């Protein structure tokens, strides 16, 4: 039986996707499958690689269609093809540990009704995405928590923490969801698994509403990779980000419009940020499905100020500040504009030369470990965290 379907959507980033496939193929487990949704202009590259170098029945390729799909549609077709009891989606420049299956089985035995599982993630920049010294991150804790649905929903729907990114974790992207949950979502939400262009956060909105029990593991089981061609890499360059937003909007034409007149913080604005894109997604979801938004405007103002507080380039600060000011001025006739009172620009406060442990996270300079891929970095980081077999047995301590 296939316990886990790992969905791997990709578009024109074959060299990274190939490394991700190689790392997953190295596992000797037979209880998972990998579905590659190739949305590239040239479908022969991955097809030839899988046929000639992998030839592994655990891997299934869903090739390009006649015209390029929007990302949300590529995700949609992958989930529809998945055969596993649990589903997850990762990026083509990421990594995930197939031994996640052991954790899912452990949680099913110990937490009745569990339907969504999240875990901590390592983070890693590929060597081609290091314009300045930066830090990789390894979470070092390993406890398990059953989440309060009301708390998690408050964090995402109403942004209760007021930080630039809502701390949620639960979703199909770098999280695992039972297949029946996704089928319930499809029946309830417009006949689709995914509707919104910001598909990862839209998925979280639906899953934390529909899943019965949510369980989180502090031990990392995946790596968020960022290559030079990734969307996260685009945030490091205003020019690159602008071009990628234009492409994103062109490919999602006819979907939910990210330049939402009801929430006037358009992603096509030069000062737009990931913070605004997340807010636009959650605000659309709550309006569309009649979810209480009490407190959202006040908390989003705090999140916008937190976004500015972490901006280290002065020109970016000015663009973002002007963007938020225009948005709050236009939103509901300026009803919330007095809530947005950001601190002045404080300068570059990054400390990427510092390594060490802070609040259960180990920060490592990326030029220190000789890791060329997220999978290599994951195996490097595993030397410093609880082994998988101890986590899934409930052990509290271990010795090397």
Segment 291-323, tens digit of pLDDT: 999 999 999 999 999 999 989 889 999 999 999
Domain ranges of the chain: 4-228+367-391, 231-339
pLDDT at residue 243, rounded to an integer: 60
pLDDT at residue 132, rounded to an integer: 75
Per-residue pLDDT tens over the stretch 358-378: 889 999 888 776 789 999 999
Measured CA to CA, the distance from residue 121 to residue 118 in angstroms comes to 9
Query: How high is the mean pLDDT of the chain?
Result: 91
- Is 3.30.830.10 the CATH number for 4-228+367-391? no
Residue 108 has phi, psi (to 5 degrees) of -65, -35
pLDDT at residue 286, rounded to an integer: 97
Per-residue pLDDT tens over the stretch 256-265: 777 888 999 9
Nearest to 106 by CA among 117, 96, 97: 117
Per-residue pLDDT tens over the stretch 145-180: 999 999 999 999 999 999 999 998 899 999 999 999
Asked if the model's pLDDT at residue 90 lies above 80, the reply is yes
Asked if the model's pLDDT at residue 349 lies above 90, the reply is no
* Structure tokens that stand for 66 in this block: 């006649």
Give the predicted TM-score (pTM) of the model. 0.92
| Mean pLDDT along residues 201-205 | 97
- Of the pLDDT bands very low, low, confident and very high (cuts 50, 70, 90), residue 400 is very low
Quickly list DSSP for 234-258: HTT-HHHHHHHHHHHHHHTTTS--S
- Of the pLDDT bands very low, low, confident and very high (cuts 50, 70, 90), residue 81 is very high
In degrees to the nearest 10, what's the CA dihedral of 245, 274, 361, 345?
110
């Amino acid at each position: 039986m296939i316990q886990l379907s790992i969905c791997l959507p990709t578009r024109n980033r074959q060299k990274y996707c190939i490394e991700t496939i190689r790392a997953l193929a190295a596992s000797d487990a037979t209880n998972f499958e990998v579905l590659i949704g190739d949305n590239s202009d040239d479908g022969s590259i991955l097809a030839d690689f899988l046929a000639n170098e992998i030839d592994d029945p655990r891997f299934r390729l869903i090739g390009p269609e006649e015209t390029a799909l929007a990302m949300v549609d590529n995700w949609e077709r992958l989930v529809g093809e998945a055969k596993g009891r649990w589903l997850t989606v990762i990026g083509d420049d990421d990594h995930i540990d197939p031994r996640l299956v052991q954790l899912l089985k452990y949680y099913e035995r110990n937490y009745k009704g569990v339907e969504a599982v999240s875990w901590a993630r390592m983070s890693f920049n590929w060597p081609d995405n290091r314009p300045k010294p930066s830090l990789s991150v390894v979470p070092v804790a390993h406890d398990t928590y059953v989440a309060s649905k009301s708390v998690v929903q408050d964090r995402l729907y109403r942004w209760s923490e007021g930080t630039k990114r809502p701390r949620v974790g639960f979703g199909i992207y770098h999280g695992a969801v039972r297949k029946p949950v996704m089928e319930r979502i499809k029946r309830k939400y417009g006949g689709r698994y995914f509707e919104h262009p910001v598909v990862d956060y839209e998925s979280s909105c639906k899953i934390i509403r529909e899943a019965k029990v949510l369980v989180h593991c502090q031990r990392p089981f995946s790596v968020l990779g960022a290559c030079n061609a990734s969307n996260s890499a685009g945030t490091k360059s205003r020019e690159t980000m602008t071009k990628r937003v234009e492409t994103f909007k062109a490919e999602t034409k006819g979907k939910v419009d990210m330049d939402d007149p009801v929430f006037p913080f358009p992603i096509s604005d030069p000062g737009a940020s990931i913070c605004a894109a997340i807010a636009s997604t959650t605000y659309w979801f709550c309006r569309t499905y009649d979810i209480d938004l009490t407190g959202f405007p006040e908390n989003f103002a705090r999140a916008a100020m937190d976004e500015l507080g972490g901006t280290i380039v002065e020109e970016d600060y000015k663009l973002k500040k002007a963007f938020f000011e225009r948005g709050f001025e236009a939103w509901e006739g300026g009803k919330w504009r007095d809530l947005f009172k950001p601190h002045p620009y404080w300068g570059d406060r990054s400390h990427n030369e510092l390594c060490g442990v802070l609040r259960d996270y180990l920060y490592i300079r990326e030029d220190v470990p000789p890791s060329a891929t997220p999978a290599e970095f994951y195996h490097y980081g595993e030397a410093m965290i609880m082994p998988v077999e101890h986590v899934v047995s409930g052990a509290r301590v271990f010795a090397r």
